Each structure stands twice: as C-alpha cells, then as structure tokens.
Structure 1
C-alpha cells in the first residue's frame, strides 16, 4: 500500500505540473491581457508613453516569455505565494479562502443529499425491477440525467422566483441579512441556497440511483444471492445485507470523483444564481484575464481531482480486501 501511494503521489505531482504548464500557456495565448482593463479605463485623449507601457508590462510579468513567467509562478507557489490578483489587488489565497465557504456549502450539501437519496431509490428500483412504478422512476431519472443543469436553473428561476415568488431569485443573502437573528440568517441562507442545491443535486442523484440499480440487478443474479433466498431469508434482508453490500464496492469508489466534479460544475451554476463562490470568481478571472487568480483556482481544482482519484483507489481497496494496490 505504501509503495503504491508513493508512486501515485509522484505521478500526481508530475500530472499537476503538466496541467498547470499547459493552462498557463493557454491563458497567456488568449486574446486580450490585463492591460486591456487598464487601457480601457484611460482617458481617450491620453496616450500612454513607452516608459509607462513597459512599466505596466513589468508589473504584470508580461515582459517575459510565458514559459519564463510560468517558472516564476511555480517558484512562488513552492514558497507558498499564490500571487496577487491583477483586477482585485488582493492576495489570491485570500480571495480563494473568502469564496471557499459558499461553494463548500453547496457542494457538501449536494453530496450528502445525493448519497442519502440515491441509495434507497436505487435499492427500491432494483427490488421492483420491471414493474410500472419502477419503469416510471427510471424514465424520470433518465430525463433528469440528460437535462442540463444550467437550463434547469433558468426554469427554476422563472417559475419558483419570478412567476410564483416562492424563492429568492439569486444571491446568497437578503438585503436585510445583517439585521436578522442567527436563526433568521440561517433560514435566509437556506432559502437562497435551495435552487442552487437542487441544480447541483438532481443530475448526480439520477446518475447514482441508476448506477446502484444497475449494479444491484447484476449482483442479485449471483449464486450466493440464490443461496441466501434458498435459506429462507426475506427479500429485504437479501437485498440490503447481501446484495447491497457488494454493490457498495464500486459505489464507494465514486465518492472520490464526485466532489471535484461538483466544484467544476459550480462555475456555471454560481454565475446564474450570482452565488459568491469560487465558480463566479473563476468566471470573472477569465473574463478579466486575471492570470494569478486563474492559476490559483486551476491549481486547487487540479489538486482536488488528483486527490479524488487517489481516494477512489484507496476506498476501493478498503471496501474490497481482495484488491491489492501494489499489484495495480
């Protein structure tokens, strides 16, 4: 196990360097630059001198080839410096820390709801396979899985917020948030987070419910399940204690891959609901050509993804003792 983890960590570090190198090259190749923001704010009648132009280039680190700038960025990262945001004039690490909480609120809530709901739905669908209610549920899940979350977000806003006025349209809090009690603040955030959480959850819920049902349908055909039924065990006990335990092995490995997917999905959903999370920060950074912020967020998303893949392998070995990671 230890030797495998060392190999995987070494490979993950190499992959991380490659990802950041490619992304840095791509963002430096995009049309526009941080200078676009500065020059756009100048008086149309004022002409920037060559000296001022070179000074601004040096300020943003644009006076060097992109691969040299990448080396400087990597050196700063290794010393614990994420750099300073071009557009917001603040440390990137402070910006990420400020936006992390709202994104975690949506992501972790969605993760918990997905696992709490998909397990009973999947088991129930497997137990009633072929029946009308099971086919209806499967059809609904299939439709939900194929329905884009950003389209669902717009429909939810249109009906639940604009037409019926049941939920707030956007933002994380109301205008009078500071005047509310602690319970009122909690409820205010709850009502504002409801639509974003629904958009985060329904696609994953549909996928994992179908995933459990599909695996359960394969497991129930195994000989040990027929043996358990022949011994007189009830259908609920056979499904939950025998079939589902073996279905959990591939299901558990998905846990390590789900959280990075939720973070990446936050970019669009948070933008639609004007949620003050990392998705909106990433979108604004790309629009403003804020290279340090883009790279800081890319680094964090990449680390989460690589750690998620490593966690998936480890969980698989823990769930199934027959697996030996050293042989992979």
Structure 2
C-alpha cells in the first residue's frame, strides 16, 4: 500500500504542475494586466506615466514572458511562498486564510447536512420502493437535482428576504453585529448562512439519496440478502446491517470529491449572496488580474481535489477489507 500511495503522490505532483501551468498560461493571455485594470477603473487625471508603468511591470514581474513568470511563481511555491496580492498588497496566504473560514462554514455545513438527510432518505426510498409516497419524493428530488442552484438562490432571496423579510438578503453579518452578544452573533451568522447552505445542499441531497437508493436496489438482489430473508431477519435489519454496509463501498468514493467540488462551485453562490468567502475572492481576483491570488486559489483547489481522491481510496480500503493496493 505504501508503494501505491507514493505513486499516487508522484502522479499528483505532476498533475499539480500541469494544472497550474495551464491556468497560469490562460490568465497571462487574458486581455489586460493588473496595471491596465487599475488605470481603467481609476481617476483619468491620475494616470501613471509610461516610465512608472514600466517600473511597476518590472517590480511585479510582468515584463517577463509568461513561461518565465510561471517558473518564478513555482520557485516561490517550492519555498512555501504564494507571493503577495497585486491588488490588496498583502500575502496571498493571509488573504486566503481570512476567506477560507466563511467558505468552510457553508461547505462543511452543507456536506454534513447532505449525509445526515440523504442516508435515511435513501434507505426509506428503498424500503418504500414503488409506493405512491416514494414515487412522489423521487420526482421531487429529480426536479430539485435539475434546478440550477443560482436560479434557486434568486428565487429564495426574492421570497424569504424581499417578500417575507424573514431572512437577510446578502452578506455574512448584520450592521449591528459587533453590538450583539455571543449568542446573538451566532444567531445572526446562522440567519445569513441559511439560504446559501440550502442552495449548496439541495442538489447534493437529491443526487446522494438517489445514488443510495439505486445502489441499495442492486444490493438487495444479491444472494446473501435472500439468505438473510430466509433466516427470518427483519426488513430493517437486512437494509441497515447488510445491504447498506455494502452500499457504503461506492458511496465513500464520492466523499473525498464532494468538498472540493463544493469549494470550487462556491463562486457563483457566494457572489449572489455577497458571502465573503474564497469564491468571491476568486471572482474579484479574476476581474483585477491579480495573478498571485488566482494561482494561490487554483493551487489550493487542486490540492484539495487530489487529496480528496486519495482520501476516497483510503476510505474504500477501510470499508471493504477485500480491497488492497499494491
């Protein structure tokens, strides 16, 4: 197994190099630079001279061809330095560290909620298969899975924030957040996070519950399930102790990939809800052509995805001892 994971780490390192190389090439080929963007949105009377622009290009490394720029960035990463943000004038590590908390609040809450709800829902759908209630729930789940999250976000904002005024429209905190007690601050963040978490969760909930149901229906046709029925075991015992245990095997392969996909998919929803997370930061960095920040976020998303795949392999061997790696 050790040799297998060493190979996976080696392949992962090569994959990281290829991903970051391609992303760096793409962003350097985008129209505009950090300096031209600043001049475009700044005061026309305060435009910098050509000499100042060349001096800043040299200071930021923008005067070099992009392959050399990538090598400079990669050499800094090898020294555990992601560089400084060109637009915010602070280390990228500190910038990401400040934004990762709000994003994890949404994604981890969504991940936990997805598993807490989808597992019993999948078991219930299997036990009540082909009943009117099960078909109705399956149809609703299919409709939810087909509904884009950004469309649902807009409708939820209109209904609960604008029409009913039950929940905040956007942001993470209220204006008077600092004046609230500890419980009041926690409740305030909860209210602000409720709609984004719902939008993060419902699609995954629909997919996972249907995934569990389809795998359970395949498992319950196996011979050992018929043997368990012949022994007189209850339906609940058969589903939970025998069938579901084998359903976990394909299910865990999705665990390691869910969190990275949630992180990368947070860009649109965080923009809609004005949530101060990494998705919003990534969008802002793209608009500002903030190359170090874009590359830092890309590197983090890539590492999380590869680590998630490795975690899925490890969990796979834990759930099914028959699986060995060599």
Report the TM-score, using the length of structure 1 for normalisation.
0.97
Tell me if structure 2 keeps the 8 A contact 1:216–1:244: yes
- Tell me how far apart the structure 1 counterparts of residues 312 and 34 of structure 2 sit (CA, whole Å): 39
- Tell me how far apart the structure 1 counterparts of residues 94 and 186 of structure 2 sit (CA, whole Å): 24
Q: Which residue of 1 aligns with 2:303?
A: 303
Distance 1:47 1:90, change over 3 A: closer
Matches within 5 A, 1:132-143: 132-143=132-143
- Tell me how far apart the structure 1 counterparts of residues 313 and 207 of structure 2 sit (CA, whole Å): 20
More displaced 10-residue stretch of structure 1: 47-56 or 299-308: 47-56
Q: Which residue of 1 aligns with 2:234?
A: 234
Q: Does residue 185 of the first structure (1) align with residue 179 of the second (2)?
A: no
- Tell me how far apart the structure 2 counterparts of residues 272 and 43 of structure 1 sit (CA, whole Å): 28
Give unmatched runs, 5+ long, in structure 2: none
Tell me how far 1:45 sits from its aligned partner: 5.2
Tell me how far 1:104 sits from its aligned partner: 0.6
Matches within 5 A, 1:187-266: 187-266=187-266
Give unmatched runs, 5+ long, in structure 1: none
Tell me how far 1:46 sits from its aligned partner: 6.4
- Tell me how far apart the structure 2 counterparts of residues 96 and 112 of structure 1 sit (CA, whole Å): 23
Q: Which residue of 2 aligns with 1:158?
A: 158
Q: Which residue of 2 aligns with 1:29?
A: 29
List per-residue Cα deviations over 1:35-86 (Å, max 9, x = no partner): 1233235653566443222102112211000000000000111111111111
Matches within 5 A, 1:277-296: 277-296=277-296
- Root mean square deviation, CA, Å: 1.1
Tell me if structure 2 keeps the 8 A contact 1:34–1:60: no
- Tell me how far apart the structure 1 counterparts of residues 50 and 324 of structure 2 sit (CA, whole Å): 63
Q: Which residue of 1 aligns with 2:10?
A: 10
Tell me if structure 1 keeps the 8 A contact 2:215–2:247: yes
Aligned residues: 326
Distance 1:151 1:59, change over 3 A: same
- Tell me how far apart the structure 1 counterparts of residues 11 and 134 of structure 2 sit (CA, whole Å): 44
Tell me how far 1:265 sits from its aligned partner: 1.1
Tell me if structure 1 keeps the 8 A contact 2:39–2:47: no
Q: Which residue of 2 aligns with 1:316?
A: 316
- Tell me how far apart the structure 2 counterparts of residues 291 and 266 of structure 1 sit (CA, whole Å): 20
Q: Which residue of 1 aligns with 2:50?
A: 50
- Tell me how far apart the structure 1 counterparts of residues 291 and 145 of structure 2 sit (CA, whole Å): 34
Q: Which residue of 2 aligns with 1:104?
A: 104
Q: Which residue of 2 aligns with 1:131?
A: 131
Report the TM-score, using the length of structure 2 for normalisation.
0.98
List per-residue Cα deviations over 1:264-286 (Å, max 9, x = no partner): 11111111000010000000000
Distance 1:42 1:288, change over 3 A: closer
List per-residue Cα deviations over 1:185-206 (Å, max 9, x = no partner): 0000000000000000000000
